[in-house]
Amino acid sequence: MQDHIRLLAQISLFTGLPPSDLEFLARNLRSCQFPAGELLLSEAGKGDFFYILRQGQVEVIKALGTPEESVLGVRGPGEFVGELSLLNRDGIRMASVRALTPVLLWEMTRQDFDALLKRQPLLAYEMVRVLSARLTAAHAVAIQDLQGKNRQLTQAYEELKAAQAQIIEKEKLERELQLAHEIQMAILPAALPEVSGYDFGACLLPARSVGGDFYDLLRLDEHHLGIMVGDVTDKGVPAAIFMAQVHAFLVAEAEHNLSPGEVLGEVNHHLMAMSESGLFVTVLYGVLDCRSGEFSYARAGHELPLLVAGGQCVICKALSPGQPLGIFEEPLLDEQSLTLAPGTVLLLYTDGVNDERDPGGEVFGLQRTLGVLQAAEQPGAQELVDHLLETVLAHLAGAPQDDDITLLAVRAA
């Protein structure tokens, strides 16, 4: 028992735990071992546990057994694998894990992890830090891989002057971007929540295969729902990776039942502590009291919420300009609250809605958005979102989409 406690105390995830929790883990974690080459976890399978490595190494593999198979990384003693299945709502594993050498591991179940997290909530910071580091490393590897492929493509073009080689490379890149798109979409809610007295609607349409917009709805407890919409500056792969980091920070902080302003403040501290990427994010995060209809929110440089009721659309006034996250140590936030009366729709959105341009360069604009919302008759939340999106796309009339488009509507019955 004491040897196990000593080993657990040396693992970074558990370094700060008191002796009582280390003793609890030593008693409850199941030891298991696998030979080299054994498949420990399967991608797309459901999981309610993760592994902590004691001895040996494992490799994390995406698209195992397919032409797109790639090794995302190698994990060694003191590291953990399979934890994303506990963080994803549907429990789906995002990659396969195979023993690279004979391995000795501890198995930690969802029940043990949840129990430990309730006693030691700061454990979430360590896990988010590790996940953030892995995302950053994966970003660097992806960029390096793409640069290498570009050099290979240029060399092949100069040597062979063969258009077929370019076509093959393009198709491969498209498959990789499609995979990145699927991974990013998996971060969004698989289904909108069902709450008595409310209905919800949402959509996200990236301008490229991947983008920097996101939204989410989190059940904080029986009567409160966390609602967030965000927009990372820039588009493409860098924005998508930064978006995933911001979303992870928001979810982790929201579950601490802090006020919306406190949640955004903590997320900003995390972003400022990261290496300088030149990226920042606008966010609106609020908490809906499903009993009273009160929506308390904090806005960090994001678009102002809109309220639709009785054929009228009102722009919620700002009490403060609000400043984006990731730029200032202590950003000014616009913190306030409103009440959703029966029949009222709250619409949150990103600036891609108003900024889309038709072939002649004319923007869709806020006034068109307000006009569409005012003309809607007793709209359901999803119907309103779909109708506004269709109107914006009709305005494009075939012109390329300039920015990601995200819409999130909440309707009080």
* Residues 401, 264 within the same domain: yes
Is 151 part of a structural domain of the chain? no
Average pLDDT, the chain: 87
Residue 321: what pLDDT? 84
Residue 332, in any domain of the structure: yes
Q: Answer yes or no: do 244 and 356 share one domain.
A: yes
- 263: tokens are 């949640």
Among residues of the chain, what percentage have pLDDT more than 70? 88
CA distances (Å), origin 53, targets 50, 298, 364: 10, 40, 54
- Which of 219, 215, 185, 186 lies closest to 202, judged by CA? 215
The average pLDDT across 326-344 equals 95
Give the C-alpha separation, 13 to 236, whole Å: 32
Count of domains forming the chain:
2
CATH number of the domain within which 23 lies: 2.60.120.10
Listed range (73-82, 104-113, 161-170, 263-272) with the worst mean pLDDT: 161-170
Task: Confirm whether 74 is domain-assigned.
Answer: yes
> By mean pLDDT, which of 16-20, 92-96, 330-334 is the weakest?
16-20
**In contact, 253 and 314? CB cutoff 8 Å:** no
Burial 106-115 (b: 16+ CB within 10 A, else e): bbbbeebbee
**Which CATH number characterizes residue 264's domain?**
3.60.40.10
- Kindly indicate the confidence band of residue 139, based on its pLDDT and cuts at 50, 70 and 90: low
Same-domain check for residues 196 and 319? yes
Residues 113 and 224 in one domain: no
Task: Output the pLDDT for position 114.
Answer: 84
Is the pLDDT reported for residue 19 higher than 90? no
Give the C-alpha distances (Å, rounded to integers) separating 404 from 54, 209, 251, 264, 389.
Answer: 43, 10, 21, 22, 12
**What's the rounded Cα separation, in Å, for the pair 353 and 364?**
7
On the question of pLDDT at 173 being above 70, the answer is no
Note the pLDDT of residue 150: 77
Among 17-26, 60-69, 97-106, 234-243, where is mean pLDDT lowest? 234-243
Residue 175 lies in a domain: no
pLDDT band at 181 (very low <50, low <70, confident <90, very high): low
Whether 50 and 85 have beta carbons less than 8 Å apart is answered as yes
Q: What is the pTM of this model?
A: 0.58
Flag whether 163 is in a domain.
no
Q: Are residues 107 and 216 in the same domain?
A: no
Q: What is the residue range of 361's domain? A: 181-412
Band of residue 90 on the pLDDT scale cut at 50, 70, 90? confident
Whether 57 contacts 101, CB under 8 Å: yes
Domain end: 120, 139, 156, which one? 120
| Domain-embedded: residue 158 | no
In a domain, 150, yes or no: no
- pLDDT tens for each residue of 250-282: 999 998 888 999 999 999 999 998 866 688 999
What integer is the mean pLDDT of 135-145?
66
Residue 166 counted as domain residue = no
Q: What is the predicted pLDDT for the residue at 289?
A: 97
Q: Quick one: pLDDT at residue 163? A: 65
Q: What per-residue confidence (pLDDT) applies to 278?
A: 80
| CB distance 31 to 99 below 8 Å | no
